[in-house]
Amino acid sequence: MATELKRRSSFIDPSEIGKPAPRQRRHKRSATGYLPEKDAKTGAEVWPRGDATTWKSGMRGGVEADVGEISKNIVHHVQTSLARQAYNIDDAGAYQAVALAARDDLIINWNDTQMCYTQKAPKRAYYLSLEWLMGRTLDNALLNLGLKEKFRSSTDKLGFTLEDLIDQERDAGLGNGGLGRLAACYIDSSASSELPVWGYGLRYHYGIFQQFISPDGSQLEAPDPWLENANAWELPRFDVTYDVRFFGHAERIGNNRAVWSGGQEVMAVAYDVPIPGYETRNTNNIRLWDSKPKRGFDLNSFNAGDYERALEASNSASQITAVLYPNDNHWLGKELRLKQQYFWTAASLADIVRRFKNLDKSFSEFPDYVAIQLNDTHPTLAIPELMRILVDEEEVDWNEAWNITRRTFAYTNHTVLPEALEKWPVPLIQNLLPRHMQIIFDLNLTFLQAVEKVFPKDTERLARMSLIQEGVPQYVRMANLACIGSHTVNGVAELHSQLVQTNILKDFVEFYGRDKFRNVTNGITPRRWLDQCNPRLSALIAGKLGSKAFLKDLFQLEGILKWVDDADFQREWREVKHANKERLANYVRSTLGSDINTDAMFDVQVKRIHEYKRQTMNIFGVIHRYLTLKAMTPAQRKATTARAIFFAGKAAPGYYIAKLCIRLIVNVSKIINEDPDTKEYLTMHFLPDYSVSLAEILIPASDISQHISTAGTEASGTSNMKFCLNGGLLLGTVDGANIEIAEEVGEDNVFFFGHLTPAVEDLRHQHVYHPVPVEERSPALANVLKEIQSGRFGDPSPYEPLLNTIYQNDYYLVSDDFDSYIQANEIIDKEYKSDPVGWVKKSITTSAKMGKFSSDRAIMNYAEEIWNIEKTTLD
Ligand SMILES: *Cc1c(COP(=O)(O)O)cnc(C)c1O
């Protein structure tokens, strides 16, 4: 017996296209909290408009798009690709059809771009990244294609609201945090800047885990089967496959050559993800590898009917690309991870070399056609792998091969945290990749001989610079290998690049000279992180500047400073912020059920949970604020600045202290949010399952955001840039890109606090050798810790190990910076409340001065100064 009615069609017959929709479906609030606005004159519902106004008003394969055509194509996909009836389709099905229709446009452009690259044969750059934190694609693709408004008209006619369909898409969460999102921003910028760049990565079947919060406040992890529903944004290339060998034996055959045989082979299959540029038909590519058992795998067992054994081999092959490792800024020496790294680099290099060989050039010209960027040390095995291909397979002389290799690669360092530096046990590599271990030892020998020539008898220096860390077992230091195998090494913000050169790679700077070491400050794409996530602000700015040209040249944002003192503009700016706060409040209401005062200051800290990022300092600061409020009279409380504080972020499943931090945040918020004395002035919210899509809701809504890492620990940070671009002010330490943001927007417009990098080492030394009790370093913090231990926020026993990190070494200097942090917050409270005009001017100025932090600037730095590649426009 049927218990449900099938939802009536809101999808109309193709012959009906062009006529008004029979019944406008009632809009339910989307999960992203988006609400249409009422047009003041007509009273009609209008969505914040997302399209470029300048670019040929939306093109499909070079021809002006037509709404009727788009609608027909959508219906066509429903009936053919999805094999469904047009009169019985839900939002999920409609999303799939719309995505397929948009994809058709991408594919045409993608094909033309690849043809153009083949014909013009420019030097090409390849960005090797183990993580691609893409988020959703549909909205971004429509905006970049300039087709959003035409698709909106089509879906409206078909009886669907485009925002609801956009909301159906699952995030592609193939990354942990900043490093993976950087890769995504860079590939967007390369396409938009018409640079011939491809990305290479892995097609994980499970992305970053889904985070839930259990009733006791702890983080729970669930797998993220993001490919469960069809993924419209990838194109399988069953004809592009490579066999990748593991294990076996390497036998030397003279002339530095060897033959590697035996072991097992796994097949890499290419999946292509087209990446449209903004207002250009140039469409670049990310090629993701999936692992499959080699055709005819384990034939012997299969023939003998031993299917279990045969399937074992099949499973171990499929396992390689099964899951993303969920560690951020922390190295974990798992064999499967090493397998992932080699599988990906070997398939990518085979693909790059094959493409180069089609050019019919000598290998001596390889670096004139190929630049390869190593995103952190994860792809460092590409260095011995290229040596293996050149020497063993192509019979290039060893020295010539080394020359080619070093002219091809460049390496980006992403961290100076010792626990994050990759080093692999020699026995592990020896077993899995015997030929690569030989090559690494051979490279090391020649390298150390060269160092010895420059620094004779300096054995300690030789030991530090060696690719091998001695001991039982020995380890291979991947940063050293990446450094000697690259022509250029860069850090990701000025301070960080300095620290790389003075700390972890100091010896290498002394050996190679300064020229090899550079800085390229990170950036973010203004398409996603302004136009897409904050359409209201983008429209306000475009209204003033006359076009959306600032999305291609972000320095043009400065133009809005003309109106910084204009009361109407200030009001509109504030109204946009308020609408974005309402949107976030809607989201929180629909997910957590909490009500939020949107007149309160929205204070946001969202990023991976890590001791060095010091979410602990934030939560201790919130408790301090709560205790201060409790001690006030009602009249005194009325004079304070109300704050709503938002946290979000995932902790690595094995990172005990980080998980305790989440638990503390959640449980403290339960007490605080229910306290009738204070809840009008202070609420706190931990939003589960931080992702790119959640970032897109949070960032436009922030009045202030926190980037409060211990000085010298955050290489750059990129969410600091996203917030400032959206007019959120920055509360931060003098660290990473915070410093350069302050240089651009003016120190008066950021709230800095805390010790500076040069003081950190001494303070750490003091904590260990001349400890001073927390009570003396910061009485305020000591009081907070005491209150937690008193049981005021629930059973304190679980938090003991977390509190001990402060009581004991306090490695990240929370107690040293706490008082200055509280002071900075007091200044913020005062300015927000007493000088709203001053505040909005700071907000406008901050956004206006963010031009430098466009990833278009960053990718141009790489193209001109490191890759030596040129714009290649599809005419
Ligand atoms: C930008 C971004 C990050 C990086 O944030 P930081 O504060 O720079 O560490 C992490 N996760 C997501 C989803 C992002 O969008």
Choose the residue to mutate in 718, 721, 723, 726 for probing ligand 1, maximizing ligand atoms within 8 Å of C-beta: 718
- CA of 555 from ligand 1 middle (Å) equals 23
Ligand 1 binding pocket includes 695 (Cβ within 6 Å): yes
Q: β-strands 197-202, 124-128: how paired? A: parallel
For the chain, the C-alpha Rg in angstroms (whole number) is 28
Over residues 11-28, the mean pLDDT reads: 42
What kind and span of H or E run contains 385? helix 382-388
pLDDT tens track for 715-753: 999 999 999 999 999 999 999 999 999 999 999 999 999
CA of 754 to the centre of ligand 1 (A): 22
For residue 473, cis peptide bond before it (omega within 30 degrees of 0) = yes
* pLDDT tens digit sequence for 232-241: 999 999 999 9
pLDDT (0 to 100) of residue 604: 98
Given the residues 405, 718, 846, 872, the one annotated as active site: 718
Angle between helices 535-545 and 567-591 (to 10 degrees): 160
CA distances from 765 to 512, 613, 713, 762 (A): 32, 20, 16, 5
The torsion region of residue 135 among left (phi > 0), alpha (psi -120 to 50) and beta comes to left
> What's the longest Cα–Cα distance across the chain?
88
Q: For 300, which DSSP code?
A: H
Higher pLDDT, 184 or 306: 184
The per-residue pLDDT for range 318-345, each reduced to its tens digit, is 999 999 999 998 998 999 999 999 999 9
Q: Among this protein's residues, is 525 annotated catalytic?
A: no
Class of domain 121-135+171-521+861-867: alpha beta
13 pLDDT above the threshold of 50 = no
For residue 671, pLDDT over 80 is answered with yes
3-state class (DSSP) for residue 147? coil
Q: What is the pLDDT of residue 37?
A: 64
Mean pLDDT, the chain, whole residue set: 93
Least confident of 50-54, 116-120, 216-220, 634-638: 50-54
For residue 785, the number of C-alpha atoms closer than 13 Å in the C-beta half-sphere is 21
592 C-alpha to ligand 1 centroid (Å): 22
CB contact at 8 A, 715 and 491: yes
**Whole-number percent of the chain with pLDDT over 90:** 88
Q: Is residue 216 over pLDDT 80?
A: yes
pLDDT per position as a tens digit, 521-580: 999 999 999 999 999 999 999 999 999 999 999 999 999 999 999 999 999 999 999 999
CB neighbourhood size of 764 (10 A):
17
Q: Is the pLDDT of residue 291 over 70?
A: yes
Query: What is the position in ligand 1's atom list of the atom closest to the CA of 718?
Result: 8
Domain positions in the chain are 61-120+138-168, 121-135+171-521+861-867, 564-846
pLDDT of 14 higher than 50: no
Question: What integer pLDDT is reported at residue 310 of this predicted model?
Answer: 78
Catalytic residue among 378, 435, 548, 607: 607
Q: 3-state SS of 619-633?
A: HHHHHHHHHHHHCCC
Closest by CA to 343, choosing from 180, 200, 132, is: 200
437-474 burial, b if ≥16 CB within 10 A, otherwise e?
bbbbebbbeebbeebeeeeeeeeebbeebbbbbeeeeb
Token pair for 438: 């030989």
Spatial contact of 236 and 269, defined as CB atoms under 8 Å apart: yes
User: If we measure between CA atoms, which residue out of 347, 363, 346 comes closest to residue 400?
Assistant: 363
CA within 13 Å, CB half, 816: 26
- Asked, colleague to colleague, whether 121-135+171-521+861-867 and 564-846 share their fold, the answer is yes
Per CATH, domain 564-846 is 3.40.190.80: no
Q: Is 607 in the pocket of ligand 1 (CB under 6 A)?
A: yes
The finding on whether 718 has its CB within 6 A of some atom of ligand 1 is yes
In the residue annotation, 607 being an active-site residue is answered as: yes
d(CA 720, ligand 1 centre) in Å: 9
pLDDT of residue 356: 98
Over residues 791-829, the pLDDT tens digits come to: 999 999 999 999 999 999 999 999 999 999 999 999 999
181 CB under 6 A from ligand 1? yes
Is residue 688 within 6 Å of ligand 1 at its C-beta? no
- Strands 468-469 and 517-519 turn out to be unpaired
Atom 8 of ligand 1: nearest residue by CA position: 717
* Secondary structure (DSSP) of 666-694: HHHHHHHHH-TTTTTTEEEEE-SS--HHH
Q: What is the pLDDT of residue 240?
A: 98
Q: Which of 470, 370, 361, 463 is nearest to 410 (CA)?
A: 370
Asked whether 292 lines ligand 1 (CB < 6 A), one says: no
Q: Which residue has the higher pLDDT, 47 or 663?
A: 663
Residue 124 catalytic? no
Taking residues 848-858, report their average pLDDT: 98
pLDDT of residue 99: 98
Distance 695 CA to ligand 1 centre (A): 8
Whole-angstrom Cα distance, residue 463 to residue 457?
11
| Identity at 163, one-letter amino acid code | E
State the amino acid at position 216 in one-letter form. D
Which of 363-367's residues contact partners 24+ apart within 8 Å by CB, and which partners?
363/390, 363/394, 363/396, 363/400, 363/404, 364/400, 364/404, 366/404, 366/407, 366/408, 367/404, 367/407, 367/408
* Minimum CA distance residue for ligand 1 atom 15: 692
> Is 630 assigned a catalytic role?
no
Q: How far is the CA of 490 from the centre of ligand 1 (A)?
A: 20
The band of 875, judged by pLDDT with boundaries at 50, 70 and 90, is confident
